[in-house]
Chains A and B, each alone.
Chain A
Amino acid sequence: MESPESASEVVAAKALGKRFGRRWALAHVDLVVRPGEAVLLAGANGSGKTTLLRLIAGLGQPTTGSLRIFGRDPGEERLGCRRRLSLVSHENYLYPPLTALETLRLWARLAGLALGDEELVRLLAEVELADRRDHRVGGFSAGMRKRLTLLRTRLEEPGLILLDEPLSALDAAGRTLVERWIGGFVAAGRTVIMASHAVERMSRVAHRGVLLDRGQVAWSGPAGEIPGRLEGHR
């Protein structure tokens, strides 16, 4: 069931606001993301980047305004929306007692993907974890955990990919890898929304930049201008 607007708008937020207790984490957010776009969310800590990504993933409901993902309400049709998106957040979503391969198997099985171990190991090789396939996740470094979690975006091939600080904890090779992936996602016509402090790097792979300030959209324009914008106001 796809409404006609879903073809042209992956994310459509109108006057979106989210209040936690007495604090407005987001306010007056109007944002439209079209298919195949790569959007970079920038802004200081606490500017609402994570909250926005979580709302899009249906983790929490907006206090004000409306939000449509592929033309659907993520609060009402949680499963339907989540099936078409993937979120990599600060949390790694890992079970320390499981090995890397078992973790991937679990995710694949839950998503109903018929992937054999061979394919899963090939995925692990992409993030240079193939030789660690049978090591428990609990013994992994932060960077290795992040790499493993990033594979979630590769498993299901969702139409919308949400990345919250995708570069954090990664080494130089890992960061290059993520950049390459994002390029691949965009080339494949998938939509990417990422929040990052590494604006210099990420603005190279993003089409559009959105600057958040105290929960509001302060500026929106070509991604290349973001570093300059932030620089001017430091």
Chain B
Amino acid sequence: MTFLRQALAILRKDLLIEWRGRSRLFSVLLFGVVTLLLFSFAVGPDGGALEENASGFLVLALLLSSTLALSESFRLEQEQRAIEGLLLVPVDPVALYYGKVTGNTLFLFLLGPLLMPIALGLYGVPAGPETLLRLLGVWGLAAAGLSAPGSLYAAMTSRLQSRDVLLPILLFPLLVPVLVAAVKAIDLLLSGDPMGQLRDWLLLLVAFDLIYWALCGILFPQAVEER
């Protein structure tokens, strides 16, 4: 009971802070849009190439925006060592982790409905409302996968000088399965799935989510408690 109550209180606090700092969501979003645009410029205005790679560009833009959001989510915890204040209340560090990771997942997920229509419109990929909903489902799984190790690593790197370099270095190779699975799944949703491969990719995403939500929760106390 204490565990759930504390996790929810942390989540509530994070959502409130996000709401207070709406400009943060806006700037992360803007970053995503700029990235999407850069891909179009890099590939050239030739519609074919853009449409073909739409899923890859979309997930990449989301992934790049995500690291910004993740490192930001622990900046406030470190600024006045608020996280230490939480641990002293005492908050169970595992509850703290699940509160943070849920908040981060929601925040990253929110990028989906905002960036996806822009990407699909920009790259000229036709998608009905139903497809869009399914895409969001895939993105939800991916967002959960991103934020599980993301929150753990952000908690560690936020204490270091070189956090901005270190977080992507640690996170990007780790997230390759999420990236590939999400891109493939979105691809199959957009252009049809004759071989029935969608299930496998979704399974990979779910497996990643389950493994890392469990594992990082166990490891989080080691990352935040002093030795």
Contacts from A to B (Cβ < 8 Å): 54, 57, 59-61, 78-79, 82-83, 86-87, 89, 91-98, 102, 106-107, 109-112, 136, 152, 156
Contact = CB atoms under 8 A, between A and B. Distances in A.
Contacts of B226: 54, 59-61
Interface residues of B, number: 28
Interface stretch (B51-59, B80-88, B199-207): B80-88
Given A61-B226, A112-B2, A96 B90 contact: no
B13 interface: yes
Classify the interface of chain B: helix, strand, loop or mixed: helix
B197 to A, nearest CB: 45
Contacts of B87: 59, 82
Interface of B: 2, 5-6, 9-10, 12-13, 16-17, 20-21, 76, 79-82, 84-92, 225-227
Contacts of B85: 91-94, 152
Q: Which 8 A-B pairs have the closest CB atoms?
A: A93-B85, A82-B90, A91-B81, A97-B20, A60-B226, A109-B9, A110-B89, A92-B80
A102 B81 CA distance: 18
Contacts of A98: 13, 16-17, 20
A152 B2 CA distance: 19
B88 A96 contact: no
B13 A95 contact: yes
Nearest to B90: A82
A78 B90 contact: yes
Contacts of B5: 109-110, 112
Given A61-B227, A102-B16, A86 B80 contact: no
A95 B82 contact: yes
Contacts of B227: 60-61
A93 B83 CA distance: 7
A92 B88 CA distance: 12
A79 B88 CA distance: 8
Contacts of B9: 106, 109-110
Q: Which of A94, A95, A96, A102 is most buried by chain B, counting CB atoms within 10 A of its CB? A: A95
Contacts of A96: 76, 79-80
B207 to A, nearest CB: 32
